[in-house]
Structure 1
Amino acid sequence: MMHQYYPDLQYPPEEVIINAIPIEEIRKKAEEPLDHFPAGPVFVSIGRLHSRKGYHKLIEAHTKLIHEGFQHKILVVGDGEERQNLRQQIAGNKVEDTFILAGNKMNPYPYVKNADYFILPSESEAWPLVIAEALILQKPTIATRTGDIPAMIQHEKTGYLISYETEEMYAAMKRFLTESPLVSELKKNLENIDGQFDNQKIFNAVENIIINLSKK
């Protein structure tokens, strides 16, 4: 369509420009108190309960860790058509006390803030806002290497990237639970994450593209 009206228009090199993020608003909402939150270590995830979100694989990874004696809990904020299937899988694996489907929440940020880690086990994503929000709240994050997530997370620097495989989820979670130097390094690096999501920087990048296009 653009070439139809502007046949001489030259596109700039491909570049990922992230969405503007209300950093201070997210952090303010995250301070709201919770009536109850499970004792740690806790991995939190936010997402729709859909087969492509990978929660069935996360249950398997969680179960294996529990059976091996690595105590932790997983809390999933969200709802969807897979809820009943996931509940049955949780019951079948006998992890009802440690894998918690919390349902939808008007304000999910306190759950991220109070958790020890964030995990997103999706088969596919585009540019998941929840990853940006978890990083802004300085949570060590495990996420699948899909969509634009590798542009959001530097592996073993600001987070941990995995493939969509149960065994890799298991191995990454085990590292978070057992390797405190890795987790400490991620937390240290996340102290400076605001620059990655600086709104003025984002606006300037968009403006520069428009200016460069107008010169062609």
Structure 2
Amino acid sequence: MAARLTTDYFHADRRPRLHCFAPASATGFDVDYQTTGARCTEAGMKIAQIIDTLNWGGAQKMMTALTRELLAHGVEVVIFSLESDTDPSAVFLLQLRQMGVEVCLCPGHGLLNFTRVQRLAQKLRDGHFDLVQTYLTYSNILGAMAGRLARIPVIASIRSAAVDPRHYNPLRFHLESLSLRFLARGILVNGYSIAEFHAPRVGKIPVRVIPNAVSLPPRPTAEERQQARRDLIGARNGPLIISVGRLSHAKGYPDLIDAFAALLPDFPDASLALVGSGEMETVLRDHVESLGLRESVFLTGARQDIPPLLTASDLYVSASHWEGMSVALLEGMAAGLPIVATYVGDAPYMVTRETGTLVAPRAPEELSHAMRVLLENPSLMQRLGQAARQRVAEHYNAATWAQTFIDYYCEMIGK
């Protein structure tokens, strides 16, 4: 379906400040995928999803996946992004437009921009939304303010079980805490570690845990798998280790590269693929060069074909220093890969002894040892991978995920 660009004006200088890509035509931490009350009727429900940016990230990926599932259940969704510099070719923006979803870009100068809040509140009122869901810090502040001004119930979402000290801003942190306590009707988190970490911030506001979910990718034919491997690592035939995520400090990629380097003398044909983009790309490329790993470590940049790359690989590794509930780790399990991951965030809830191995963060030696044990035992890798895929099918199933959200939405709307 084609989309058109419409504009609104947020400031007196008459520059466009809101761009809408419109289609042409319970309390506690113990909720998993069990519904918590009578199932409501989703037909006619209209949800506003507000997010800081539509550029690459786990929150954006899950919001896009949730939107797709909600549309399939008859829920109308409109997306509001608080950034204007979203690349028009960005994967999530393209996916949302292909779904026929209205996407509004709502930038402004500074966090405490009350003109933007008022304009956003008016847009919410005019849209006759039943509920507002916010993602990430700025949206949890500004979106919650706008929702309250529009007298629409707000669910605030939190997705990290840590605070990055490099980006910590005391004013922003405390403003978000106040918004969570006094403006949100409910707090939604995607992992138990996240709920525990943020419990002191939210006071008596009910927190609901709804873990991430993914679909099981189809199993490739031998020819499809081989082609995906050639596209990724060329003619190399040894075991392929893969890690997917933003190239940021939190992901611990230097540790993973060091751990892989220690493996290479015993597995000279092995390859490591790092799939993603981010601020550390140049640093990581320099690190790979300094270790002489240019022929065996591949930084692919951001890719849209993640499932085929995963099913073409042999082992998924996460070296994160901190996490919430990793979408990429879940996708690796869904692809049938054995897992080596660090003991951070919700990884201990996701990865069992039957599906992989957990090691301490910031410990390249432990990471290398865990990978070595698996690479030396292909039959063990196969068993772990099969169990990982089965665990996703049983516990992180996208088919029931959307209805869990809808039931929660109905509960919040009815309060």
Q: Please, what TM-score do these two structures have when normalized by structure 2?
A: 0.44
Q: For residue 395 of structure 2, what is the amino acid of its counterpart? A: Q
Instruction: Give the conservation status (yes or no) of the 8 Å contact 1:29–1:109.
Output: no
Instruction: Quote how far apart the aligned CAs of 1:19 are.
Output: 2.5
Write out per-residue CA displacement over residues 69-116 of structure 1, whole angstroms, 9 at most, x where no aligned residue.
223110011111211111111111111111111111122221111011
Aligned residues: 207
Taking every aligned residue pair, what percent have the same amino acid on both sides?
24
Structure 2 SS opposite 1:109? helix
Note the aligned Cα RMSD (angstroms). Answer: 3.2
Structure 2 SS opposite 1:139? coil
Instruction: Quote how far apart the aligned CAs of 1:209 are.
Output: 7.7
Counterpart selection for 1:19 from 207, 212, 216: 212
What's the counterpart of residue 129 of structure 1?
327
**1:196 counterpart = 2:389:** no
What's the counterpart of residue 160 of structure 1?
357
Instruction: Give the conservation status (yes or no) of the 8 Å contact 1:118–1:134.
Output: yes
**1:176 counterpart = 2:374:** yes
Write out per-residue CA displacement over residues 141-161 of structure 1, whole angstroms, 9 at most, x where no aligned residue.
11111111111111x211221
Instruction: Give the conservation status (yes or no) of the 8 Å contact 1:48–1:80.
Output: yes
Structure 1 SS opposite 2:212? coil
What's the counterpart of residue 47 of structure 1?
245
Q: Distance in 2 between matches of 1:176 and 1:87?
A: 26
Q: For residue 102 of structure 1, what is the amino acid of its counterpart? A: T
Instruction: Give the conservation status (yes or no) of the 8 Å contact 2:252–2:320.
Output: yes
| Structure 2 gaps, min length 5 | 1-180, 187-203
Instruction: Give the conservation status (yes or no) of the 8 Å contact 2:250–2:323.
Output: no
Structure with higher RCO (Cα < 8 A, 6+ apart) = 1
- Label 1:104 to 1:188 Cα distance change in 2 as closer, same or farther (>3 A): closer
Alignment of 1:63-142 (within 5 A): 63-67=261-265, 69-71=266-268, 72-142=270-340
- Label 1:209 to 1:61 Cα distance change in 2 as closer, same or farther (>3 A): same
Structure 2 SS opposite 1:192? helix
- Label 1:15 to 1:143 Cα distance change in 2 as closer, same or farther (>3 A): farther
Instruction: Give the conservation status (yes or no) of the 8 Å contact 1:29–1:107.
Output: no
Structure 1 or 2: more helix by fraction = 1
- Label 1:15 to 1:138 Cα distance change in 2 as closer, same or farther (>3 A): farther
Q: Distance in 2 between matches of 1:196 and 1:181?
A: 24
Q: For residue 95 of structure 1, what is the amino acid of its counterpart? A: L
Q: Distance in 1 between matches of 2:293 and 2:287?
A: 9
- Label 1:97 to 1:204 Cα distance change in 2 as closer, same or farther (>3 A): same
- Label 1:140 to 1:103 Cα distance change in 2 as closer, same or farther (>3 A): same
Structure 1 or 2: more strand by fraction = 2
Larger Cα Rg: Structure 1 or Structure 2?
Answer: 2
Q: Distance in 2 between matches of 1:199 and 1:91?
A: 40
Q: Distance in 1 between matches of 2:291 and 2:339?
A: 25
Q: Distance in 1 between matches of 2:283 and 2:330?
A: 29
- Label 1:191 to 1:61 Cα distance change in 2 as closer, same or farther (>3 A): closer
Q: Distance in 1 between matches of 2:398 and 2:306?
A: 22
Instruction: Quote how far apart the aligned CAs of 1:20 are.
Output: 3.6
- Label 1:205 to 1:150 Cα distance change in 2 as closer, same or farther (>3 A): farther
Q: Distance in 2 between matches of 1:82 and 1:4?
A: 35
Q: For residue 143 of structure 1, what is the amino acid of its counterpart? A: A
| Structure 1 gaps, min length 5 | none
